[in-house]
Structure 1
Amino acid sequence: MYRIFIIEDDLKIASILHDYLVRYGYEVVQAQDYRQIKQECVKMQPDLVLLDINLPYYDGFYWCRQIRTASNVPIIFISARTGEMDQVMAIENGGDDYITKPFHLEIVISKVKSLLRRTYGEYAGGDFATRNIYHVGGLYLYGDQNVVEWKGKRIELSKKEFRLLNCLVQKANQIVSREELLEVLWDDIEFVDDNTLSVNVTRVRRRLGELGIRNAIETKRSQGYRLVPNWESGQ
């Protein structure tokens, strides 16, 4: 079942789209916080986005660019703006298609089906990796690139650094045992010096420091490590 993310602040229109898409068998989620669109998109990892232009706080062009920094998910703009320049801007900012309001629901369904088919189905040109993305506290991890991003700054980690950080991110605020982390980093841990894990944790801390994130990984003596995503509050 394909998952569709609706970013539309007109609740009546959003509800109509939601109900119609559900009727055709799609899983549909509507945006909740118009200041956190990128975060919501990364968290739910949709297969397609329906995006309005006139939104609170930031317009659809801005959010399209933000989503594009994290994903190649297909995006269809739906807007009351009918000018050619708006449609050009939609495409130039990363959109894949454009529907003007008022619209016929049959047109929406037709374009959704067509774009999904081109992206994932019989007309797709290959694997379309959009789901290998992890996120906590504004920190984004891109698994297909071993890249970490925070506040628009990106750095590339080594494979082991990324694996270690990814394991901690997926269990944020939980203690992850040294044994579990060792198994993530090495297939055979029998001959791995325990100090080697400490060295790798130190490296990850240093790389996070390059992004401006410090004191995020706590050492729990005789237990393991814990990622505490308190950097957004400046602690």
Structure 2
Amino acid sequence: MKILIVEDEATLASLLEEELVQWGYLSKKASNFNDILAEVTDFKPDLVLMDVSLPFYNGFYWTEKIRQISHVPIIFITSHTESGDIVRAMQMGADEYITKPIDITVTIAKIQAVLRRTYDYKVGSDSIMYGDLKLNLSVAHLEGKNFVLELTRTELLILEILFNFKNKIAKREAIINYCWQGDAFIDDNTLAVNIARLRKKLKTVGYDELIQTKKGIGYYLK
């Protein structure tokens, strides 16, 4: 999957590019801020990360232009937290927004969520390995040496993001964004309840300590 980064802050653009490469995406930093439309038509991205404040013309302008030729999903990156700016972005065709200063784990989760709902996209292949465990995405199974555990959709998505983060901490907000796509009615308590149910299911196959808690931050795999 190809991601175009339209961000004139060089340090942030490089950080996003490096992180996206680590996650297996083909990313490109826009360089011609006078003609972002040409950048889009030349690179043909599957997703655009669009800063609001840009040289020459702002992100709202370029989103309007892009929407005249493409339905490519657009995620706004903005330091503008006023609800009017966010509403304007969504009305003009943005699919999601990220506020500065960005949290890279939340940013990756939002990118994955937008790609998933746009293209029915799964990160990587049809399965992810962690140690001797295999998460089978196509049939929603967790497979070990001597067991096959059936998973609900939410359980599958929780394990999918944790498997992708491996033993790094996935922040609670990132997991919520990935599993419930920013649903305003989902909170930390909902996540905690689903984690507890998943741990109970994992206990039946001897993996009750697989999911670890980093208090006040999120979860990771042991």
TM-score of the two chains, using structure 2 as the length reference:
0.54
Alignment correspondent of 2:79? 80
SS at match of 2:110: helix
Task: Identify if the C-alpha distance between structure 1 residues 63 and 20 changes in structure 2 by more than 3 Å, giving closer, same or farther.
Answer: same
Alignment correspondent of 2:169? none
Cα offset, 1:43, TM superposition: 1.2
Cα offset, 1:119, TM superposition: 0.6
Alignment correspondent of 2:90? 91
Alignment correspondent of 1:31? 30
Alignment correspondent of 1:54? 53
Could you report, residue by residue, the CA deviation over 1:155-200 in whole angstroms, capped at 9, with x for unpaired residues?
A: xxxxxxxxxxxxxxxxxxxxxxxxxxxxxxxxxxxxxxxxxxxxxx
Give, in whole Å, the separation in 1 of the partners of 2:96 and 2:30. 20
Give, in whole Å, the separation in 2 of the partners of 1:100 and 1:65. 20
Give, in whole Å, the separation in 1 of the partners of 2:96 and 2:121. 19
| Structure 1 segments unaligned to the other structure (5+ residues) | 124-235
Alignment correspondent of 2:4? 5
Larger Rg: 1
Q: Would you say how many aligned residue pairs link Structure 1 and Structure 2? A: 122
Give, in whole Å, the separation in 1 of the partners of 2:21 and 2:75. 17
Alignment correspondent of 1:115? 114
Contact 2:115 2:121 in 1 (8 A): no
TM-score of the two chains, using structure 1 as the length reference:
0.51
Question: Which structure 1 residue ranges, 4+ long, deviate > 4 Å from structure 2?
Answer: none
| Structure 2 segments unaligned to the other structure (5+ residues) | 123-222
Please show how residues 181-220 of structure 1 align to structure 2 within 5 Å: none
Could you report, residue by residue, the CA deviation over 1:27-77 in whole angstroms, capped at 9, with x for unpaired residues?
A: 001101101100110111100000000000000000000011110000000
Percent identity over paired residues: 44
Give, in whole Å, the separation in 1 of the partners of 2:33 and 2:100. 21
Cα offset, 1:122, TM superposition: 5.8
Could you report, residue by residue, the CA deviation over 1:70-120 in whole angstroms, capped at 9, with x for unpaired residues?
A: 100000001111111110110111101111001210001000001101011
Alignment correspondent of 2:18? 19
SS at match of 1:98: strand
Alignment correspondent of 1:66? 65
SS at match of 2:45: coil
Contact 2:48 2:75 in 1 (8 A): yes
Across the aligned residues of Structure 1 and Structure 2, the Cα RMSD in angstroms comes to 1.1
SS at match of 1:81: coil
